[in-house]
Amino acid sequence: MSTDTPAPERVRARSGRRRPWWRGGSSMRRWNLDLLGIALLALGAGLLAGAWLGGFAGTLVLWALLLAAVLFAMLRRGVPRGLMQFRAVDVLYGIVLGGILRGIQGWLAVSFGGSGALPSYPSLEGALPPLWWAEDLLGGAIIAPVIEELFFRGLLLVVIFTLVRRFAGDDRAGIAVGGFVAVVASTALFVAAHYLAGAMSADAAVSLTLVGLVCGLLVVFTGRIWPAILVHIVFNGTGVLLTAAGTLLG
């Protein structure tokens, strides 16, 4: 008697293996409620440790714990199919949407009572702080966006979406509900984490909310994390460069 898998079942199996992460499939089988708990535990522990240590050391510990949660999810639970795929159009998403978000942030700063002048570092004789390139340009404009997007959108959003979709169903309505809940919840956690990590003005809170929503929607609609990472890098990077320019030209 043949032990080969019947042809229809082989077709269904191959089809299941090719399903993108937002449709479920084998790559999402182990993304369960306990993984959400691990992610939230890492976020809470990172915020507490960061507040206790303070300064750049606290930020490094927070980054390390968030990255550890991401690596645990990807290495032990599987990489969501298609999430890490990169396409050339992702660069366009980053430049255009990141630039638009930075422009909106400037408009919001003026609307909330700002002078409209370029931001600047507190310094003597218009000189940049000695480690601005390490803490702000490298850390704030590159490392932070990558880690934050991998955690808040690549881990939290994906696992929340997956859990809600399983409950709501695999049809179009269930996927829509999952996307809505995941984008809103991950954005709320993203903004709350920044608020708890340090003082934040009202216009900064609105700007961060917009960044979270745009990046979340990009991940949901494209199925990829790179558009969100590049938007965040452009948003943070332009902020650092404008601050450096304001310091040198002020």
**Total domains in the fold of the chain:** 1
Give percent of the chain above pLDDT 90. 74
Q: What is the pLDDT of residue 122?
A: 82
Assess if residue 2 is contained within a domain. no
Boundaries of domain holding 149: 7-249
Q: What is the pLDDT of residue 3?
A: 46
Assess if residue 121 is contained within a domain. yes
pTM assigned to the model: 0.91
Closest CA to 221 of 90, 99, 125, 43: 90
177-211 pLDDT, tens digit per residue, is 999 999 999 999 999 999 998 878 999 999 999 99
When pLDDT is averaged across residues 41-52 and rounded to a whole number, the result is: 96
Choice between 121 and 3, residue whose per-residue pLDDT is larger: 121
**Given pLDDT bands bounded at 50, 70 and 90, which one contains residue 124?**
low
Assess if residue 1 is contained within a domain. no
**Given pLDDT bands bounded at 50, 70 and 90, which one contains residue 242?**
very high
* Predicted confidence (pLDDT) at residue 17 exceeds the cutoff of 60: no
Structure tokens at 127: 């000189």
* Predicted confidence (pLDDT) at residue 15 exceeds the cutoff of 60: no
* Predicted confidence (pLDDT) at residue 16 exceeds the cutoff of 60: no
58-106 pLDDT, tens digit per residue, is 999 999 999 999 999 999 999 999 999 999 999 999 999 999 999 999 9
**b/e burial code for range 30-53 (CB count within 10 A of at least 16 → b):** ebeeebbebbeebbebbbebbeee
CA distance 78 to 211: 27
When pLDDT is averaged across residues 212-235 and rounded to a whole number, the result is: 98
126-178 pLDDT, tens digit per residue, is 788 888 888 899 999 999 999 999 999 999 999 999 999 999 988 899 999 99
When pLDDT is averaged across residues 201-223 and rounded to a whole number, the result is: 97
Task: Tell me the residue type at 110.
Answer: V
**Given pLDDT bands bounded at 50, 70 and 90, which one contains residue 12?**
very low
3-class SS letters over the chain: CCCCCCHHHHHHHHHHHCCCHHHCCHHHCCCCHHHHHHHHHHHHHHHHHHHHHCHHHHHHHHHHHHHHHHHHHHHHCCCCCCCCCCCCHHHHHHHHHHHHHHHHHHHHHHHCCCCCCCCCCCCCCCCCCCCHHHHHHHHHHHHHHHHHHHHHHHHHHHHHHHHHHHHHCCCHHHHHHHHHHHHHHHHHHHHHHHHHHCCCCHHHHHHHHHHHHHHHHHHHHHCCCHHHHHHHHHHHHHHHHHHHHHHHHC
Assess if residue 59 is contained within a domain. yes
- Give the other-Cβ count within 10 Å of 79's Cβ: 13
